[in-house]
Amino acid sequence: MRTGALQALIFDVDGTLADTEAVHLAAFNQAFAELGMDWVWSEALYTELLTISGGKERIRHYWDQVNPGVKVLDAQALQDRIGRIHDLKTAAYESAVNSGAVALRPGVLKLMDEALAAGVQLAIATTTSPVNIAALLRHAIGDDWRMNFTAIGDASTAPIKKPHPQVYLQMLQALQLPAGACLAFEDSSNGLRAATAAGLATIVTPNGFTAHHDFTGALKVVPDLSQVSLEQLRQWHAQGRA
């Protein structure tokens, strides 16, 4: 492959590969109800909470909001409680995905197939949990979905969440490629900031939860990938490098 050519596509998951956030929101609320909590997150509130990357981090942030000035006397007990909420939420999300509640966004699978056929590598860089990734891609692609991806970075491998670039830096190392040989795909400002901090040119496909975000610095912002081909990406990539 010629020097400077596009050699890998690195995808975020939630909101980018699939419109998952509404299902995540319903799963959070189901977990709260199962534990007898009086928390109910509205769509508007959840949109605000999405500025916090990571499900457990989001729960802790909200706990701090509804308990202002309350000193945590037993930090481990709180962490255990947050962990239990998140476990129930993850189970509810996985069940919803397995029932067909989530599909890949338009153009995603076609572009992945085109890239693989051309020898362009695929990777995942997300702050979500491995279980959530597996549930989504197993349902959308099949049991052998992992074979499509050279590298996968998630909440278990990159504990420092976006907008920190940790997960993207890990993926570049795993791919053994410079940032200039790759393109990132994101849907949020935090994701864009993480990718660009790692030196990656980034294609943004906003959704209903992130359309109001600031995407300054993106290589391109498009509604989805339905009208985007690998050749188009190569052209954008070359323009970005120039």
Point out the residues that are catalytic: 12, 14
CA 197/CA 217 separation, integer angstroms: 11
Among 131, 112, 76, 68, which Cα is nearest to 230's? 112
- Residue 192's H or E segment, with its range, is helix 189-197
Residue 22 contacts residue 15 (beta carbons within 8 Å): no
- Report the DSSP beta bridge partners of residue 104: 18
Token digits of residue 72? 């945590």
Query: To 10 degrees, the CA torsion angle through 179, 183, 186, 191?
Result: 10
CA 103/CA 81 separation, integer angstroms: 31
- In the chain, what is the straight-line distance between the N-terminal and C-terminal CA atoms, in Å? 18
